[in-house]
Structure 1
């Protein structure tokens, strides 16, 4: 066992150290499971003794692999089943737009935004939504595929280095230096790409451990992926279309309007009293400094909003879109502003 929670009943767990040490020293990954938690019992003690583990290379090779604990029949151990592929296949056409932070490291990105954003009509939100299609086109035609650019640069660098083995050449040496700089820039973009996908917040910027970010992304996606759901009759649903129907029906019923009759909701006193001085502060005009401070305090790679743009886009393009952002905040503040005739006594 790996954790004290892998056992229920009996004497406390005291044999974790050896297996746990081997597990950590070899950088192994627990593939997780679906189904009942414990895989062995003697009617009194329940333990998770059977598990599927792998190393980093295997996890990257089989990113969709899942593990299921099956019912036991003849043995006191539950059999475990490993499926290398998932029954779900996401369509690229249905994926929502997500701004890629690696685009910020391209030499032509700032010029593209300066031309695309412009002083035209519309709010900051309207401009970002209008920017989506242009960004998709720019990504394909200007930014290109990272993997292809890496292969092309490595092939050119290898060819130049073979030519330099025949004798010094100043032109080739300068070209080699330029290509190596381009290759390092591509590596930096790739590291930012996987760092954004992994949602790692505790690691400082500048680390280029792409394998770590890649593996973390795979594990996070598998943890968040819903493989099956139980319907109202207690039956497990695993087919993709049936899962969609089940989820839509659940939330449609959950948020549908129902008649409460004469039932009166008496909300508890959940809010602490607010001083009159603080209430006056809420209606003070906002300024550019506090808007900028609030924006730059947001994690740059945090989950984006409905438009698909994370905070790092607005932080990097602050000088370009500062007026639109400020106006958007001012308008939002006016809509939710406390009326002057508000009875402060009721709130306090």
Structure 2
């Protein structure tokens, strides 16, 4: 297993994660107990992930096999809420000698685009870590992006209004009181100081 992990790292591969049940393999023992594992997945390179940033691997259900079939969806889903990219300051820009001057000019002229000049300088100077940091930032963005959620009926929903409805319902249920009236058991569990 160590050689396999070493090879994955040497090839700079990463698991793209999954949507659906956690396990892809089920073994039923003769005593009725079960062994469940995630044996199946997808490893990709950073370049592949840049080409297919919205790719999702789905674990599907199967009654015909002890392995879950996998479905890889590559079609990008347009996000209606992303009007524009947020500006994020990169601390590596501080290495650029003209950074303070460029920032002052940008503030004076009201030009947000000037920030890209600092980034351009860093890229021109051949910063070896730029590609690594970009891959990390892209992976973090993909990881944090909610492209869909499972609803109460276990149906995957991707439509923005449906996802919003699932989140609102979840938190309304979570923070709705059941109006308990008998607090005796609860109060007995509290130790006075």
Larger Rg, first or second structure (1 or 2): 1
> Does residue 133 of structure 2 align to residue 213 of structure 1?
yes
Distance 1:91 1:25 in 2: 37
**Cα gap change, 1:72 to 1:93, in 2 (>3 Å):** same
Secondary structure in structure 1 of the residue aligned to 2:83: helix
Contact 1:66 1:86 in 2 (8 A): no
User: Counterpart in 2 of 1:20?
Assistant: 5
* SS at 2:101 equivalent: coil
TM-score, normalised by the number of residues in structure 2: 0.68
Structure 2: where are the runs of 5+ without partners? 30-34
Q: In structure 2, which of residues 16, 20, 26 is the aligned counterpart of residue 31 of structure 1? A: 16
1:241–1:41 CA distance, 2 compared to 1 (3 A) = same
What is the CA-CA distance between 1:85 and the residue it aligns to?
A: 3.3
Partner residue in 1 for 2:60: 70
Shift in CA distance, 255/48, structure 1 to aligned 2, threshold 3 Å: closer
Instruction: Please give the alpha-carbon distance, in whole angstroms, between the structure 2 residues aligned to 1:19 and 1:238.
Output: 35
| The structure with more helix, counted as a fraction of residues | 1
The number of aligned residues is 180
Matched, 1:49 2:39: yes
Taking the TM superposition and a 5 Å limit, the aligned residue runs for 1:209-248 are 209-248=129-168
* Residues 61 and 69 in structure 2, CA contact (< 8 A), matched pair in contact too: yes
- Indicate the residue corresponding to 1:296 in structure 2: none
Point out where structure 1 has 5 or more consecutive residues left out of the alignment: 1-15, 116-133, 150-181, 192-206, 273-348
More strand per residue: 1 or 2? 2
What secondary structure is seen at the aligned counterpart in 1 of 2:17? coil
Where in structure 1 do 4 or more consecutive aligned residues deviate above 6 Å?
none
Contact 1:87-1:240 within 8 A present in 2 as well: no
Structure with bigger RCO (C-alpha 8 Å, 6+ apart): 1
